[in-house]
Amino acid sequence: MSSLTRTSQHLAAVFACFYFLKGATGIVDSTPCDRLTKPTIPGATVISIQSQHLPNTSVLASPPLLNINVTGLDICNVDVVLSHQSSNDTVKVKVWLPSAGWNGRFLGTGGSGYAAGFFELSLAPVVALGYAAASTDAGLAGDPYSPAAWALDAQGNVNSDLLLNFASRSVHDMAVAGKAIATQYYGKKPHHSYWNGCSTGGRQGLMAAQTHPEDFDGIVAGAPAIDWARYVIAEQWPQVVMREEGFHSGRCLLQAFTNASISACDSLDGLTDGIISNPRSCKFDPYTMVGWDFQCEDGQKETVTPKIASMLAKIVAGPKGLAVTHKYALNAGAALDSLANTTTDSDGNTIGYPFFVNDAWIRYFVKKDPGFDTTTVGYASFAQLFNASQREYGALIGGYNPDLSRFRAAGGKAIVGHGEADQLIFPAGTVEYHRMVERVVGRGNASSVAGFYRTFLAPGVDHCGAGALTGASPGAVPVDPLAAVVAWVENGIAPDVLDARIQSVRDDGAVVTKTRNLCPFPLRSRYRGGDAVAEGSYVCA
């Protein structure tokens, strides 16, 4: 990506028994919006609370975080400011409470990039559905693109308290505060609590299950940025390869490679639809492209040489080493022009342009030097960075603890989703985490884990399904995983499939709606014949 606008397209898209406080009835007195009092949050001091009835509130679309206008909301808006002892932080939690039509549920909402939450942009669509919902800034600047304002203190040391907030602490604080405020306002506790987030929000949800398993009854975690301390460094790998190989690819060549891999493997599932249904079965060899000529949009021509093929092969293979626990590489069919992004300098030379997440993590947290040039990282220094990041931050923000036994014991259910054409976060990490949960919690029994934890892989879908909004992603995106986890938690209806859908425009201008059932891992949606755009033509196998 060569601009902030292009980068923003890859931020997270929004996936979209009453037991009360006192007495046999379980009912407490409701409190008017303007009279709500400070909640008690263990480990934190609530500095202030401000609440206001907003009878006709609208939130305008701000793609990709909010893609439609949400109007006519009648809410109680609550702002809680808190701090942690000896942390010198100031954290804001915003809670929105429907004045009428509350569905009895609480929902925590997640962030993206280096932002822990987006306040009204994430609250509006779920409050419109009747949820009491909350969002937090974790005491950070709220900038998803950079941690520059909070990563280092005045002495140049990593601000470990704010990093802890970003990693996990503020999600727990938000859950405690949000549910307490909802209880005051409605006079009864939420009967169930949920989490919904993608990317950073997906990581937040799984870390909540790991660290505070009773905070949420149901969790939707899309494209979870777990294994943060390692996977973020692995995102730098394509830049390392281009530097060491002495060639920086333009977008034209990278797109040509992605298109070639799709063309080679598309029909392996018996259907040619622009989607690789099982990327693991795709063994496309970049060396078969040697000698190919491409006409780029800017009029320039590209010819694939053995050197270029070698570079592409190393990029898609991902890093290797003693500390590399599994494959940190993009699937076949995923776009390479985010992590292997380039730009043009003032002299017209093509140079590396690292993705903002890994670039900032290396500079601020691993090197602790905002001026460090990540385009200078080679093979040897990459290995050093990879090990140092995990050593310093793995326990804090890794989010890779597979022991979800307490979450299961608390009755929690989790739906994890990941697009297999994700161009930013490696789907193999989500798959490996699922297998680890099976080994640790299920003791190798997959069916016992399926009783509370299910992973759904979406063929042809990019990061958080953002491409579905622009036509850049051909795969069907889950329609409403939040409703699915609610049905699982409250009605015992386990999601044997997730409904998925995507619309596209044909050359003749007709709009085509493609539906597909996504299957719980390790099952896959397999084409069995019939209408290629109808979910009934696929079976989990």
Q: Is 422 one of the annotated active-site residues of the chain?
A: yes
503 membership: H or E segment, kind and range: strand 498-505
3-state helix, strand, coil in the chain (%, to 5): 35, 20, 45
Q: 524: closest CA among 441, 460, 444?
A: 460
Amino acid at 283: K
- Residue 458 pairs in a beta bridge with 419
> What are the residues whose beta carbons fall under 8 Å from the beta carbon of 155, sequence distance 6 or more?
none
Q: Count other C-beta atoms under 10 Å from residue 246's C-beta.
A: 8
**Which residue of the set 422, 434, 462, 525 is catalytic?**
422
Residue 330, both tokens = 């993009």
Instruction: Report helix, strand or coil for 431.
Output: helix
Q: How far apart are CA 40 and CA 272, in angstroms?
A: 57
Q: Count other C-beta atoms under 10 Å from residue 202's C-beta.
A: 31
Beta-strand pair 218-222/301-303: unpaired
Question: Are 96 and 50 within 8 A, CB to CB?
Answer: no
Q: Is 463 one of the annotated active-site residues of the chain?
A: yes
Q: How far apart are CA 370 and CA 385, in angstroms?
A: 15
Question: Are 187 and 29 within 8 A, CB to CB?
Answer: yes
**Which residue of the set 463, 473, 525, 537 is catalytic?**
463
**Cα-based distances in Å from 200 to 13, 155, 251, 421, 526:** 11, 28, 26, 18, 30
Q: How far apart are CA 275 and CA 288, in angstroms?
A: 20
> What are the residues whose beta carbons fall under 8 Å from the beta carbon of 517, sequence distance 6 or more?
497, 498, 499, 500, 525, 535, 538, 540
Q: How far apart are CA 221 and CA 509, in angstroms?
A: 35
Peptide bond into 64 cis (omega under 30): yes
Helices H, strands E: what count in the chain?
15, 18
Q: Is 537 one of the annotated active-site residues of the chain?
A: no
Question: Are 264 and 284 within 8 A, CB to CB?
Answer: yes
**Which residue of the set 8, 135, 199, 277 is catalytic?**
199
Q: How far apart are CA 201 and CA 115, in angstroms?
A: 9
Question: Are 339 and 240 within 8 A, CB to CB?
Answer: no
Residue 459, both tokens = 């063929």
The residues carrying an active-site annotation are: 199, 422, 463
